[in-house]
Structure 1
Amino acid sequence: MKRHEAREKAVQTLFQLDETEITLEEAIPFIVEIPLDEFYEQLVRGTVAYREEIDALIAEHLENWSFGRLPKIERTILRLAVYEMNYTEVPARVVVNEAIELCKTFSDEKSGKFVNGVLSKMNK
Structure 2
Amino acid sequence: MKRRTAREKALQALFQIDIADTEIQDALNFVIEDQGHDEYLDFLVKGTMENVNKIDEIIASNLENWTIARLSNIDRNILRIATFEMLKSTEVPVNVVIDEGIEIAKAFGDDQSSKFVNAVLSKIKEHLHL
Same fold, TM exceeding 0.5? yes
2:86 aligned with 1:85: yes
Q: Deviations over 1:58-97 (max 9, x none)?
A: 0000001111101110001000000000111121100000
Aligned to 1:106: 108
CA distance in 2, matches of 1:56, 1:46: 15
AA matched with 1:16: Q
Structure 1: state its 5+ residue gaps. none
Does 2:2 match 1:13? Answer: no
* Aligned equivalents of 1:74, 1:115: Cα separation in 2: 7
TM-score normalised by length of structure 2: 0.90
What's 2:68 paired with? 67
Aligned to 2:112, what secondary structure does the other structure show? helix
1:108 offset after TM fit, Å?
3.1
CA distance in 2, matches of 1:85, 1:96: 8
Percent identical among aligned pairs is 47
Q: TM-score, normalised by structure 1?
A: 0.95
User: SS of the residue aligned with 1:99?
Assistant: helix
Count of residue correspondences: 124
Q: Which amino acid aligns with 1:117?
A: A
Cα-Cα RMSD: 1.2
Partner of 2:48: 47
- Residue 102 of structure 2 contacts residue 114 of structure 2 at CA under 8 Å; is this kept in 1? yes
4+ runs deviating over 4 angstroms: none
